[in-house]
Amino acid sequence: MPDTDATEILRTVLDEWKAGIDAHDSNRVAAVFTDDAVFQGLHPYTVGRAGIAEYYDGQPHGMTVDYRIDEIRRPAEQVVVGYGRARFTRPDGSVVALMLGVVLTRGDRGWLIQQYQVSAPPA
């Protein structure tokens, strides 16, 4: 039986992540991450919100993202793990399709992304 709570938690956080990207609001994107989040985008990894905001601020204005969740796990009460796909559409219409893995943890500020990693889809 699917864990509907874990699904809702993950969707709520990723919907806010998506909204920040779609609005090109790097601080809004960074706000869904923990203070010490490990972030691996398509550049060298960074730790913490400042590096995450800088990464997204460097993305082109008009870029949007859609995501799909394929797998969700809840290994502990305060942890949700998600795996799926993200499709980033650039202003020129080109698409960058990536695999997406996130670990969310619940703390004083609620559910936030503790670890984020994207990678190229398998060939």
Phi, psi of 26 (to 5 degrees): -65, -30
Residues 13, 113 contacting (CB under 8 angstroms): yes
Q: What is the pLDDT along the chain (123 residues), one digit of tens a residue?
A: 456 799 999 999 999 999 999 999 999 999 999 999 999 999 899 999 999 999 999 999 999 999 999 999 999 999 999 999 999 999 999 999 999 999 999 999 999 999 999 999 987
Instruction: Quote the CA–CA distance of 46 and 52 in Å, as a whole number.
Output: 7
Domains and CATH numbers, the chain: 4-119 (3.10.450.50)
Give the pTM: 0.94
Residues 88, 94 contacting (CB under 8 angstroms): no
